[in-house]
A and B are shown apart, each in its own frame.
Chain A
């Protein structure tokens, strides 16, 4: 019997701790219940109590200045051991209480009625009790009211518990999502840019939402048979897991199809075939700017560009002239057999080529901006500078706080690193 009691007591204390209510700050909802109980039963004192291992703590007290009493003399401690209402109509004559210090002492308690705060899984956390200094009797309907009020107290406790749990769960989920998004994003972007003779590179990536994988990507890779490199910036329609899977396919397929010395337009056409087949119900597409950069002995470079539904890259020469490069071709992955074309141009040493996603236009030009004029203005100011300096100037033009869309860009400076 005693062992049973202590086992139950351990489970009950676990429940008390789960609700995390002990020593919590005062709460208007419970104070309203005790003041309502005092009015309803016309008693001077009404309490919401929680029975701890060695004390009885008052979550709310009406008509009493004490916040806690020891568990030993506590009537509430006796009350929680049973499931029926605990009623003492006249403590002075009741054998259970006549020796109790609360009855015999200064408080002079005569009437005590408690309804247990029983959780949905059957643990009595404490009581809602009403106390008077004169003997009383409650009618059947008053007893029901006391039970109902105790249920309201439990409902309030449950509500707080589930709210706390939800907040905690949300925080956990958000953290997990951010971690996953970060890891996935890293696998979709090169960990570091390659070293390419005669070219200086800088790349930046700004995600709009930390907990979502973006649809933007960039890559720079070497071709074994050619000098220079191939650079790409792309944007997959949509966000999240679906977009990420297409981004991964696009990035690695492109590396494969562009391994040999093929014109960028041919690379895009092959990539389109891969994407079109990979997504048999092609509900997604991507836009890309694909560029081959071949350095020349005079320090300049030959650029060949092909676009798949992507904003044209900007070339700024050392004298500040800015030009859009490339001829528009259709988005990749949606149409069966699109035609892409190449545009070639030679760039003198010190030129800077900027590949970017449309998120950068909006980030720098302001909400809903689709013009590249603001970008051009920045590029003119930094003409002739190094790749990192140009990237820093663009970063500096971004607004503070969250962006509305992801923004990625790749700065390619023609000529030896200074």
Chain B
């Protein structure tokens, strides 16, 4: 069953919080770039939290998007945290891809 990709964002205590849900693959690439990558790249917030705990599936396109977000955040000199579910699809992808150390991860039970 396909779960649709969706993005919501808002400011919480000076932090830009972007919540992504559904399936993140090539079908949602354009939307992800527009709403997430560009969101990180243009924010005036002091830090960024990507809440990926509701992502049902993520493939290599999604990982590339996360890496782009990280690059944008670094360019602006703001820290970025990924909030993910331990043993969830994003955790697995990040672990298999060997990039866990590159991100600031908040793994939730």
Contacts and interface: CB of A to CB of B under 8 A. Distances in A.
Interface of A: 235, 237-239, 283-285, 287, 307-312, 328-331, 334-335, 338, 358, 367-368, 370, 405
A338 B98 contact: yes
Nearest to A357: B60
B19 interface: no
Given A330-B102, A331-B63, A368 B23 contact: yes
A370 B97 contact: no
A284 B64 contact: yes
17 contacts: A237-B64, A239-B26, A283-B64, A308-B98, A309-B98, A310-B96, A328-B98, A329-B98, A330-B99, A331-B63, A331-B97, A331-B99, A334-B67, A338-B98, A358-B59, A367-B1, A368-B89
A123 B69 CA distance: 59
Contact of A405 (B56, B59, B95): B59
Given A237-B64, A284-B64, A309 B59 contact: no
B5 interface: no
| 10 closest cross-chain pairs (CB), A and B | A309-B97, A368-B57, A330-B98, A237-B60, A328-B98, A329-B98, A309-B98, A237-B64, A331-B97, A370-B92
B93 to A, nearest CB: 7
B13 interface: no
B61 interface: yes
Nearest to A327: B98
A205 to B, nearest CB: 17
A330 B97 contact: yes
Contacts of B89: 368, 370
B105 interface: no
A405 B59 CA distance: 10
Nearest to A309: B97
Given A283-B64, A368-B23, A370-B89, A309 B96 contact: yes
A285 B56 contact: no
Interface string B18-50: 000001001000000000000000000000000
Contacts of A310: 96
B6 to A, nearest CB: 16
Contacts of B67: 285, 334
Contacts of A237: 60-61, 63-64
Given A330-B102, A368-B23, A238 B97 contact: no
B15 interface: no
Contacts of B93: 370
Given A368-B56, A405-B59, A285 B64 contact: yes
Nearest to A338: B98
B30 to A, nearest CB: 13
A132 B60 CA distance: 72
A285 B97 CA distance: 11
A386 B106 CA distance: 45
A283 B92 CA distance: 22
Contacts of A287: 60, 97
A239 B61 CA distance: 10
B87 to A, nearest CB: 11
B22 to A, nearest CB: 11
Contacts of B99: 309, 330-331
A88 B23 CA distance: 70
Nearest to A330: B98
Given A367-B2, A368-B23, A331 B98 contact: yes
Which of B1, B23, B26, B99 lies at the interface centre, i.e. has the most chain A CB atoms within 10 A of its CB? Answer: B99
B68 interface: yes
A309 B64 CA distance: 12
Contacts of B63: 237, 331
